[in-house]
A and B are shown apart, each in its own frame.
Chain A
Amino acid sequence: MELAISIITGLMILGALYAIHARDLLSSVIACGIVGYSLVICFLLLKAPDLAIVQIVVDTITLIIMVAVVLDSSREEAFAKLDTQGYVTAATGILMIGVLLYFFINAIQSMDTLGQSTLRMANYYIEGAAQKTGSANLVTGVVFDFRGYDTMGEAVVLVTAVLGVLTILRIKGKK
């Protein structure tokens, strides 16, 4: 399974790189779709169907909206020449990549293998969660019972996002 996930992750990296460098913005959007749908397969392989359902639907809707935006505006990417600030930004980015790679390797070496360990809190959730919450789906039991405040926060975040979108997109405004 780790081999399959490694191959799919490599495909995601290729898609992301192509999305950055594509001349045509429409093919760039489609390459973003590669990343999203590969993530769906990763979730299914890691036995997380709840996340997979949400990811596949949200990714489809996001692709529809992005394709509509690209078709409506321009398919050409606006290129800018590198100036001093651009070189500084590129150098900082390469430096950050090196630092993050070093710490990632250190962190991964001290971790257990994927899916083998359960955290102390997760153990408490898993033991007898069906009797405690009465829900056969453990994820719903955790999300709405043990972590109820998290779910309320997510709902409020969605409402705030809608308010922000409506505020920004309004062109005419009330005089």
Chain B
Amino acid sequence: MKGMTLIVKKTTQLIAGMIFIYGIYVIIHGHLTPGGGFAGGVIIAGSLILVTLAYGGDFMKLVKEEAGTTIVESMATIMVIIIATAGFLFGTKIFFNNWLPKGIVGQLVSAGVLPLYNIFVGTEVAASIFIIFLSLIIFKEESPQ
């Protein structure tokens, strides 16, 4: 997959970081403002997809080696599963017990374990959507013409 023109590349350089940071903001403030793990995760995946589309698959060295792609794919899937389960194993000897102190409503550090759930779910959503996109690119390059 080839990249796009110089204009698109420069604009992507300017914008992609801001989109990424906005996704992190949406995730971290998920218990205060609209948004949360799912919305922020999809925004982060969108910024990564933007970079991939603008610069092309060759720039990120995604393809050409079958062993490499399978290793990357397996590791990514394993990481997604680890992250997805780790988000629900942290500290909760009783499942879904809000065991941390609640704090003052409206402050950034409050609401017990809810921000932790937001962060883990956001990472998981970003990883899975980006993996679906990457697998579409990688397996297309692998297929016989």
Contact = CB atoms under 8 A, between A and B. Distances in A.
Contacts of B42: 54, 57-58, 61
Contact of B111 (A57, A134, A143): A134
A170 interface: yes
Contacts of A136: 31-32, 105-106, 110-111
Interface string A130-142: 1101111101110
Contacts of A135: 31-32, 105, 110-111, 114
A159 to B, nearest CB: 5
Contacts of A114: none
Contacts, number: 132
B128 A161 contact: yes
Nearest to A149: B96
Interface stretch (B10-18, B56-64, B131-139): B131-139
B84 A159 contact: yes
A169 B136 contact: yes
Please tell me the size bucket of the interface on A: 35 or more
A137 B121 CA distance: 17
A137 B35 CA distance: 9
Name the residue among B32, B111, B142 with the largest chain A CB count within 10 angstroms: B111
A152 interface: yes
